[in-house]
Structure 1
């Protein structure tokens, strides 16, 4: 199912080996994957670029996952974000959800679970884009008085 979707995914994690392995596993399933190894580089990646889903590690040096989430949501409120954590707490996952994360996944990542979530995010993103297009068309029609 995900293969047909050609979802665009941004993976953000400071653990280089984990990041590389997960990116390869997703790319082998037909996804278009971009990686970032810090909150700063993730913010640079989302500048002028939209992703179907952003998979964001919670614990990173510098700008941590929650702060990165806040800043991405400020720029792209409709961005789909899943938080990743090796040491997740209920309090942190609740905070991430309040800030706009779609979901929270514990490491080690179950690839099937992640693929399902990517597929759901892609479908949701398409619906958001479709809704925006309809609103823009209606706006044009009303402005022309047709």
Structure 2
């Protein structure tokens, strides 16, 4: 196996789903390293397309997205890729239905605004966890 192929196998892939372009740019800048590859998308539909075509170790997912909401995207991501750990993000109020869906399927929940340094440390701790 070539060095490049070996490097790609060891890459940790992170998907960030949010409709705020500045937030996506911040995540890309904060999380992209020699061992992490970051993919950013603005819709739930685009997220599902990415998850269907490639394995992600971690996904940061906004609850409030245009079109399909984050709780539906969360359920579908977990159906396609059960090992992908999903962190739900929101700046809004979460209703009971969303809370139940999040508790059932999400790895954790964070509220906006947040410090990207904390997000970077959180992502590192999660992707460094051994896979079951």
Query: Is TM > 0.5 for Structure 1 vs Structure 2?
Result: yes
Match of residue 97, structure 1, among 81, 97, 103: 103
State the distance in 1 between where 2:21 and 2:126 align: 24
Query: Which stretches in structure 2 are left out of the alignment for 5+ residues?
Result: 1-9
CA distance, structure 1, for counterparts of residue 34 and residue 108 of structure 2: 21
Partner of 2:14: 9
- Residue by residue, what CA displacement relative to the aligned partner does 1:27-73 show, whole Å, maximum 9, x if unpaired? 26863110011000000111131111000000011011000001111
Is 2:108 the counterpart of 1:127? no
Partner of 1:66: 71
Kindly name which structure, 1 or 2, has the bigger radius of gyration based on alpha carbons: 1
- CA-based RMSD: 2.2
**Number of equivalences:** 122
Query: Which shows bigger deviation, 17-26 or 47-56?
Result: 17-26
Partner of 1:139: none
Query: What TM-score comes out, normalization by structure 2 length?
Result: 0.80
- Normalized per residue, the structure richer in helix is 1
| Aligned equivalents of 2:125, 2:90: Cα separation in 1 | 20
Matched, 1:34 2:18: no
1: CA distance, partners of 2:128 / 2:25: 25
Distance in 2 between the 1:109 and 1:13 partners?
14
Higher strand share: 2
TM-score by length of 1: 0.73
> 1:107-146, aligned counterparts within 5 Å?
107-124=112-129, 126-128=130-132
Is the counterpart of residue 87 in structure 1 residue 87 in structure 2?
Answer: no
